[in-house]
Amino acid sequence: MAISIRYKGKLKSISSLKQLNSEVSEIGRALNWKPKVVNDYSPRKKYLLYEDLVGITLRPEKSDALCLTFLTDGTLMGVMHGAIGNIKEALFEEEYQVTVKTQYAGAEVHIAAMKLLRYLEKKYFETFELSDETGYWESGDEEMARSKFPAAIVEEAEDEKVISPFDRKNPAVLGVVETMENILKEKWLKLE
């Protein structure tokens, strides 16, 4: 099973969505995580994509999209779930959670994503639960989280083995957590 993050929650207020989108977009651009606003929330706009969902997604390289998209009542809902069926039926049938596979992006992206989610949880969410297969969410132990990832992620490419640049020893990736920490440190000071 691939290393993933699973989370669910509800915003304190849907009126904070514009600010959340702005902050997440700024952070996403700083990390080159390709931010994309989904149905900018405005009562005058007709939703064209993922009906009933508003928010933003981030797309770190080699990772599933980190969805911060919501129903108009503030309930967190991933865009993939919204695209494949009736959202209200899905909520009735099961307790919904967003799943983000981070294994191929590597430990640094996984840890940075959880640092971002921790910040957002404290600032914007009324309820928030996260399940992390590396144990980082509960422990804050980066070394333990890194140890759960393969030393090098090996992919098959036309009968050749290619070592991904997203292993934990690659210096190009090691700056992701530090960059996220610096961005969030400044934002935490504003919260306090």
pLDDT at 71 over 80: yes
Give residue 132's pLDDT: 93
Give, for 56, the enclosing helix (H) or strand (E): strand 54-58
Question: Tens digits of per-residue pLDDT, 95-119?
Answer: 578 889 998 999 999 999 999 999 9
As a whole-number percent, the residues of the chain with pLDDT over 70 amount to: 69
Distance between CA 188 and CA 68 in Å, rounded?
19
12 Cβ contact list (under 8 Å, min separation 6): 74, 124, 125, 126
Give residue 82's pLDDT: 44
CA–CA distances in Å: residue 57 to residues 25, 63, 111, 153: 9, 12, 17, 25
pLDDT at 59 over 50: yes
Distance between CA 135 and CA 153 in Å, rounded?
20
Question: Tens digits of per-residue pLDDT, 136-183?
Answer: 999 999 999 999 987 644 332 223 333 344 444 333 444 778 878 877
As a whole-number percent, the residues of the chain with pLDDT over 90 amount to: 45
